[in-house]
Structure 1
Amino acid sequence: MDTILTINNLTKKFGYLTAVKDLSFTINKGNVYGILGPNGSGKSTTLGIVLNVVNKTSGDFHWFDGNTTTHDALKKVGAIIERPNFYPYMSAYQNLKLVCKIKGVDYSKIDEKLEIVGLMERKDSKFQTYSLGMKQRLAIASALLNDPEILILDEPTNGLDPQGIHQIRSLIKQIASQGTTILLASHLLDEVEKVCTHVVVLRKGEKLYSGRVDEMISSHGYLELKAENTDGLVQFLEAKKMFGKIKIEDELITAFLDEPMDAKDVNKLMFENGIVLTHLVKRKESLEEQFLQLTDNN
């Protein structure tokens, strides 16, 4: 599989603050990657380092095969890491002409990219007449002008209304389906679950999880249990390797499964070991619960 970006033990310190700590992950061609974490988790700093706008403290990263300089590699990258900076009195088309001049791209690309982002009908309208969602879509068109191999987006739906959010997410999926690799930073679980194939979860600059989104969700779920003898039930659960983390709230016990097991088999196992359950429900974890579990107690 073609590698787009490799990050090795990347660390960034701002004085006493460590914004990114010993971070490593790889981005391969043709996927949609999410860097997920709350504000202040190091997402934007990581993007800034690989885009050469923030200096790293230690570690390294390389684009593509590792033999390309970052300066040359960035010619094959499209990125929006700040609010789009277009001229308000100029039309969308005129603004993109300026970008083409800077990037050395033929003007023929402009209509093609405006079509992709759904702004062809408004290409002669002044930028200042655009809604926030349209401005963001124009920024994406601008980032696509050089036909990048990877598109990097920092919080692409921030501040948008529900319709604008839906449009941007649909657009990201559409661009990805054409073969462009996408890396987006987001603090929204919902966004990553709906848009991304892979996720890197950060907290305080440290990686908590890296892998496929569907594998992160495909835990074996958890059980909600009550029994006449609560202490006996807890002791039994703690002694069996198929049960992982156990939480106790009043009489309700939550046991996370480390192995696949259905409710019928759990009930049978308990009964055979002299434990009479008064309550048994098996539930599937959402990505949100997985995320909360990852970021809990760290």
Structure 2
Amino acid sequence: MESILTINNLTKKFGYLTAVKDLSFTINKGNVYGILGPNGSGKSTTLGIVLNVVNKTEGNFHWFDGNTTTHDALKKVGAIIENPNFYPYMTAFQNLKLVCKIKGIDYSKIDEKLAIVGLLERKESKFRTYSLGMKQRLAIASALLNDPEILILDEPTNGLDPQGIHQIREIIKQIAAKGTTILLASHLLDEVEKVCSHVVVLRKGVKLYSGRVDEMISSHGFFELKCNKQDELIQVLENTKTFGKIKVQDNLVTAFLNEPMKSEDFNKFLFEKGIILTHLVQRKESLEEQFLQLTDNKQN
């Protein structure tokens, strides 16, 4: 698979603070990657390093085949890592003409990119009349002007209303469907689950998981259980290899499966052990539950 970006043992320290620690992952062509983590997890710092706006402390990274300088590679990258920065008194079209002039891009690209983000009919409107969502969509159009091989977005839906969030996510999906690789940083689990094919989970600058989103949430799920013999139930679960982690909160027992099991088979199994359930619900783990498990397991 063709590599777009390879990061090896990347570390960034700000004085005593380690923002990114020994981070390694590879982005391959044609996928949508999410860097997921709470605020302060090192997402923006990582993007800043690969875009040459933040100096790394240790480790290395290379774009494409590794034979291209970062300066030349960034000509094939589109990025939005700060708030959209356009002239408020100029129209959308005039602002993008200016971007084209700076980057040496033909003006003919402007209408095409405005159409992708749904702003073609508002191209003659001044930037100051745009809503926050429209401003963000114009920024995406600007980042697409050079037909980048990879589009990098830092918290692309931050501060937007539900309609604006939906519009941005749909645009990201459309761009990805045309073959552009996308890397986005987000603290929103929902965003990564709906938009991304791959995810890198960060906490305090440390990678907790890297891989496909569907593999991260392809566990066998869990049972939520209640019964009048809770201690006996827990003992049976702990002595059965079908189950892994067992959580107890008040009178609710959550048993995570190591292998597939139907609820009716489980109910029969417990009944034969003399345990009658008063509550039985089988669930699949969401990305949120996986994320919480990952971060719980890595608490300092």
TM over 0.5: yes
Partner in structure 1 of residue 100 of structure 2: 100
Count of paired positions: 298
Aligned-pair CA distance for 1:297? 4.2
| Aligned counterparts of 2:15 and 2:163: Cα–Cα separation in 1 | 41
1:57-96 pair list within 5 angstroms: 57-96=57-96
Amino acid at match of 2:286: S
Amino acid at match of 1:231: D
For 1:182 and 1:116, locate their aligned partners in 2 and report how far apart those are by CA, in whole Å.
Answer: 15
Is the aligned partner of 1:197 residue 2:217?
no
Distance of 2:255 and 2:231 partners within structure 1: 14
| Percent identity of equivalent pairs | 85
Q: CA deviation at 1:274?
A: 4.1
The residue number in structure 1 matching 2:223 is 223
Cα distance in 2 for partners of 1:41, 1:243 equals 32
- Partners of 1:135 and 1:204 lie apart in 2 by 31
Amino acid at match of 1:255: A
After superposition, the C-alpha distances for 1:47-82 in whole angstroms (9 at most, x for unaligned) are 000001001111111111111111111000000000
Q: What is the one-letter code of the residue matched to 1:217?
A: I
Q: Give SS of 1:39's match.
A: coil
* TM-score calculated relative to the size of structure 2: 0.96
Q: Residue 282 of structure 1 corresponds to which residue in structure 2?
A: 282
Amino acid at match of 1:164: G
**Superposed counterparts of 1:171-182, under 5 Å:** 171-182=171-182
Amino acid at match of 1:185: A
Who is 1:167 aligned against?
167
Separation of aligned partners in 2, 1:61 and 1:158? 27
Q: Identify the range of structure 1 (44-53 vs 269-278) with the bigger mean alpha-carbon deviation.
A: 269-278
Q: Confirm or deny that 1:46 pairs with 2:24.
A: no
Partner SS, residue 22 of structure 2: strand
State the partner residue of 2:27: 27
Query: What is the Cα-based RMSD across aligned positions, in Å?
Result: 1.3
Q: Distance in 1 between matches of 2:295 and 2:122?
A: 43
Higher mean displacement: 110-119 or 228-237: 228-237
User: 1:96-122, CA deviations, whole angstroms, 9 ceiling, x for partnerless residues?
Assistant: 111111111111111111111111111
CA drift of 1:278 comes to: 3.5
SS at match of 2:138: helix
Question: Which residue is 1:212 aligned to?
Answer: 212
Q: Deviations over 1:175-217 (max 9, x none)?
A: 1111101000111111111111111111111111111111222
Separation (CA, whole Å) in 1 of partners of 2:132 and 2:253: 47
Q: CA deviation at 1:240?
A: 2.1
Residue 28 of structure 1 and its aligned partner are, at CA, apart by: 0.7
Look up the SS of the partner of 1:134 in the other structure.
helix
Q: Which has the higher mean CA deviation after the structures are superposed, 254-263 or 234-243?
A: 234-243
SS at match of 1:72: helix
Distance 2:94 2:229 in 1: 74
CA distance in 1, matches of 2:265, 2:6: 44
* 1:46–1:268 Cα change, 3 Å: same
Structure 1 stretches of at least 4 aligned residues deviating more than 6 Å after TM superposition = none
Q: What is the rounded CA distance, in whole Å, between the counterparts of 1:34 and 1:181 in structure 2?
A: 11
Tell me, in whole angstroms, the C-alpha distance in 2 between the residues paired with 1:89 and 1:281: 58
Aligned AA for 1:191? Answer: E
Partner of 1:265: 265
- Distance (Å, rounded) in 1 between the aligned partners of 2:251 and 2:85: 57
1 CA distance for matches of 2:125 and 2:145? 19
Larger displacement relative to structure 2 (236-245 or 127-136) = 236-245
Instruction: Tell me how far 1:239 sits from its aligned partner.
Output: 2.0
